[in-house]
């Protein structure tokens, strides 16, 4: 392909049934969609969620309005599929962030971020995030772990922007409270 299609052009072509154009979007957004699915708790089913999301997105593409960009629109489908996965599979706490548990210090790296203490602290943080109410967790995952804007988070989670703002504040407070329990302050 000589010319790289931008999202809007790819969507326009995909609407007319151009599967090559749609594949541009599939290639571009498979990794972010997969990452979102994993962090939102799809665990080992993340690839299935991504596949389903791309199939659904194509079939609903006439409903795509374009104000928010293709990525959050797709992520909204990913988030929804992930929730549904939990609902029917009793994996309410999911496999969220299990990946983090496998992390260890890089033997070759002297980076202080990889010190045993830092790893422990990270694991503690992950554990506390997992214990949050799913609604609080989702908003923190979107805003900070996936680094989405408030507007993108709103689209992804299907919430009004104001709710994202207030829920983020609430979730941060709850997480901070959790982290402060049983922990040396300013560690």
Partner 1 sequence: MPDYQDEALIAELRALGSQLDVPEPADQRTVIRARLTRPRHRLRLWVISIVAAVAGTVGAVAPARAAVIDAVDGLLRVAGIEIRREPPSGGLPAQPSPMPSLRSADLNEARRVAPFPIRLPTTLGEPGQVLLADPDPAGAPRVITVTYRGETVRFDQFDGAVSLAFFKSAAAAEWVEIGTNSGIWLPGPHPVTYVGRDGIEHTETARLAGPTLIWLDGAVTYRLEGLKTLEEARTVALSVK
Positions touching partner 1 (CB under 8 A) are 19, 22-23, 26-27, 30-31, 33-35, 38-39, 45-52, 54-56, 58, 60, 76-77, 79-81, 83-85, 87-90, 97, 99-100, 102-103, 113, 122, 125-126, 140, 144-147, 155, 157-159, 169, 172-173, 175-176, 179
> Strands, DSSP E only, in 11-158?
none
Query: Of the two residues 34 and 167, which places its CB atom closer to partner 1 in the complex?
Result: 34
Q: How far is the CB of 68 from partner 1 (least distance, A)?
A: 11
At closest approach, how far in Å is the CB of 161 from partner 1?
Answer: 13
Count CA atoms within 13 Å of residue 119 on its CB side. 13
At residue 15, what are phi and psi to the nearest 5 degrees?
A: -60, -30
Question: C-beta of 160: minimal distance to partner 1 in Å?
Answer: 11
Instruction: Pick the closer one to partner 1 by CB: 2 or 187.
Output: 187
Q: Which two tokens stand for residue 74?
A: 């797709």
User: CA torsion angle for 71, 44, 91, 146 (degrees, to 10)?
Assistant: -30
CA distance 143 to 170: 13
- The residue (of 5 and 33) whose beta carbon lies closer to partner 1 is 33
Smallest separation (angstroms) from partner 1 to the CB of 6: 19
DSSP letters, 115-180, are: SHHHHHHHHHHHHHHHTS-HHHHHHHIIIIIS---HHHHHHHHT--HHHHHHHHHHHHHHHHHHHH
Q: Which is nearer to partner 1, 99 or 117 (CB)?
A: 99
Which lies closer to partner 1 via its Cβ, residue 7 or residue 52?
A: 52
What is the nearest approach in angstroms of partner 1 to the Cβ of residue 38? 5
Q: Are 82 and 164 in contact (CB under 8 A)?
A: no
């Amino acid at each position: 392909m000589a010319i790289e299609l931008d999202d809007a052009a790819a969507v326009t072509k995909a609407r007319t049934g151009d599967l090559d154009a749609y594949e541009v979007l599939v290639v571009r957004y498979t990794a972010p969609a997969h990452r979102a699915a994993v962090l939102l708790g799809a665990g080992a089913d993340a690839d299935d969620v991504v596949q389903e999301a791309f199939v659904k997105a194509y079939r609903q593409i006439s409903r795509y309005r374009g104000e928010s960009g293709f990525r959050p629109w797709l992520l909204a489908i990913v988030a929804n599929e992930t929730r549904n996965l939990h609902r029917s599979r009793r994996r309410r706490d999911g496999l969220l962030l299990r990946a983090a548990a496998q992390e260890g210090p890089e033997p070759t790296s002297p980076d202080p971020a990889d010190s045993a203490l830092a790893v422990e602290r990270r694991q503690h943080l992950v554990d506390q995030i997992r214990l949050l109410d799913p609604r609080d967790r989702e908003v923190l995952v979107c805003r900070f772990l996936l680094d989405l804007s408030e507007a993108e988070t709103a689209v992804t989670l299907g919430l009004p922007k104001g709710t994202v703002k207030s829920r983020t504040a609430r979730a941060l407070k709850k997480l901070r409270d959790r982290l402060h329990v049983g922990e040396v302050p300013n560690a």
